[in-house]
Structure 1
Amino acid sequence: MEKGMPDNRVAARAAIDRLLQMRRLWENAARAYFEPSRFLLEVQNCLMTSRTVTFIIQSNKDALPGFDQWYAAHQERMKADPIMVWAKDARNKVEKQGDLSTHSQVSAEIIASYLDGPKTDWLPSNVFATTDEIFRAVPQKFRVPHVVEHGTLLVERRWIDAELPEMELLEALAHAYSVLSDIVADFVKTLGLPIPSMIEDSRPTSMERLAMDRAIYVSMKEGSIIGVRREEARDPPIKEKQFIKRYGRKGAKSWEKAKEAETFQQACEAFFRSARILLKTDGYHGSLALFLKGSHLFRVIGADQPDRASRYILMRELASFAVAEGADGVILINEAWTAAAKDIPKHGYAVDAKNRQEALALAACNATGEEIHITATFHRKKNKLHKVKSIEPNKMTVGTPSFMLVPFMKVWGRYDPKNYEEIQRKMDEAGLSLPMEAPESTA
Structure 2
Amino acid sequence: MQRWERRLSDAAHALTNCGETYFEPDLFRRNVNQFLTIIRTVTFLIAKDKANIPDYEKWLSSAIGKYWSGDEVMLWAKESRNYIEKEGDLELFSSLSVALVYSYFTENDASIEIGRSELLSGGIKKLMRLAEAELPHGVSAAAAVKIERRWVANTLPNYELLQSMIYVYSRYRQACADLAEYLGIILSTTIPTAESIGEGEVHQRRVSYVKFSDKASYSKLTHRVEIDRTITPPIWLKDVDRTRPNFEVYAEMAERTFLHFGNHLAMVFVFSENGTILQHLAFTPFDQVDKFIFWRDLAERILYLRAESLIFVSESWVRKDPGLLTPIAQAEILGEMLHVHEIKRTGEVSHKAWDIERVGDQVSLAINDNDSLEASGFPNYLVPIREAFTRIHKR
Q: CA deviation at 1:353?
A: 4.4
Q: Is the 8 A contact 2:92 2:154 kept in 1?
A: no
Q: Is the 8 A contact 1:367 1:409 kept in 2?
A: yes
Is 2:103 the counterpart of 1:113?
yes
Distance 1:345 1:82, change over 3 A: closer
Q: CA deviation at 1:322?
A: 1.5
What corresponds to 1:239 in structure 2? 231
Q: CA deviation at 1:220?
A: 3.2
What corresponds to 2:257 in structure 1? 278
Q: Is the 8 A contact 1:110 1:151 kept in 2?
A: yes
Q: Is the 8 A contact 1:104 1:158 kept in 2?
A: yes
**CA displacement 1:30-50 (0-9 Å, x = unmatched):** 3xx4xxxxx45xx469969x9
Selected match of 2:302 from 311, 319, 322 = 322
Does the residue aligned with 1:334 lie in a helix, a strand or coil? strand
User: For residues 28 and 301 of structure 2, what CA distance do their matches in structure 1 show?
Assistant: 32
Distance 1:335 1:238, change over 3 A: farther
User: For residues 130 and 282 of structure 2, what CA distance do their matches in structure 1 show?
Assistant: 36
Does the residue aligned with 1:337 lie in a helix, a strand or coil? strand
**Greater RCO (CA < 8 Å, at least 6 residues apart):** 2
User: For residues 306 and 352 of structure 2, what CA distance do their matches in structure 1 show?
Assistant: 25
Is 2:269 the counterpart of 1:290?
yes
Does the residue aligned with 1:311 lie in a helix, a strand or coil? helix
User: For residues 45 and 324 of structure 1, what CA distance do their matches in structure 2 show?
Assistant: 21
What corresponds to 2:41 in structure 1? none
Q: Is the 8 A contact 2:138 2:323 kept in 1?
A: no
Selected match of 1:253 from 228, 231, 239 = 239
Q: CA deviation at 1:253?
A: 2.1
User: For residues 403 and 308 of structure 1, what CA distance do their matches in structure 2 show?
Assistant: 12
What corresponds to 2:311 in structure 1? 331
User: For residues 350 and 82 of structure 1, what CA distance do their matches in structure 2 show?
Assistant: 51
TM-score by length of 1: 0.55
Selected match of 1:392 from 349, 358, 366 = 366
Q: Is the 8 A contact 1:337 1:350 kept in 2?
A: no
What corresponds to 2:78 in structure 1? none
Distance 1:371 1:157, change over 3 A: same
Q: Is the 8 A contact 2:336 2:355 kept in 1?
A: yes
| RMSD, aligned CA | 4.4
Q: Is the 8 A contact 2:16 2:197 kept in 1?
A: no
Distance 1:295 1:331, change over 3 A: farther
Q: Is the 8 A contact 2:285 2:291 kept in 1?
A: yes
Is 2:297 the counterpart of 1:305?
no
User: For residues 142 and 320 of structure 1, what CA distance do their matches in structure 2 show?
Assistant: 26
User: For residues 160 and 367 of structure 2, what CA distance do their matches in structure 1 show?
Assistant: 55
Q: CA deviation at 1:203?
A: 11
What corresponds to 2:84 in structure 1? 82
Distance 1:269 1:156, change over 3 A: same
Q: CA deviation at 1:128?
A: 3.2
TM-score by length of 2: 0.61
**CA displacement 1:1-22 (0-9 Å, x = unmatched):** xxxxxxxxxxxxxxxxxxx9x9
Does the residue aligned with 1:138 lie in a helix, a strand or coil? helix
User: For residues 196 and 312 of structure 2, what CA distance do their matches in structure 1 show?
Assistant: 28
Q: CA deviation at 1:360?
A: 0.9
Is 2:386 the counterpart of 1:409?
yes
The higher radius of gyration belongs to 1
Q: Is the 8 A contact 1:288 1:304 kept in 2?
A: no
Q: Is the 8 A contact 2:199 2:222 kept in 1?
A: no
Distance 1:220 1:377, change over 3 A: same
Is 2:117 the counterpart of 1:142?
no
User: For residues 113 and 29 of structure 2, what CA distance do their matches in structure 1 show?
Assistant: 30
Q: Is the 8 A contact 2:150 2:161 kept in 1?
A: no
Distance 1:225 1:131, change over 3 A: farther
User: For residues 207 and 300 of structure 1, what CA distance do their matches in structure 2 show?
Assistant: 16
**CA displacement 1:233-262 (0-9 Å, x = unmatched):** 23524633x611xx2xxx2222xx3x3234
What corresponds to 1:373 in structure 2? 351
Distance 1:316 1:203, change over 3 A: closer
Does the residue aligned with 2:103 lie in a helix, a strand or coil? coil
Q: CA deviation at 1:315?
A: 0.7
What corresponds to 1:153 in structure 2? 145
User: For residues 119 and 146 of structure 2, what CA distance do their matches in structure 1 show?
Assistant: 14
Distance 1:394 1:152, change over 3 A: same
Q: Is the 8 A contact 1:358 1:378 kept in 2?
A: yes
| Identity percentage of aligned residues | 15
**CA displacement 1:332-385 (0-9 Å, x = unmatched):** 11111014xxx4333347754445212111233222222222211112342x3x
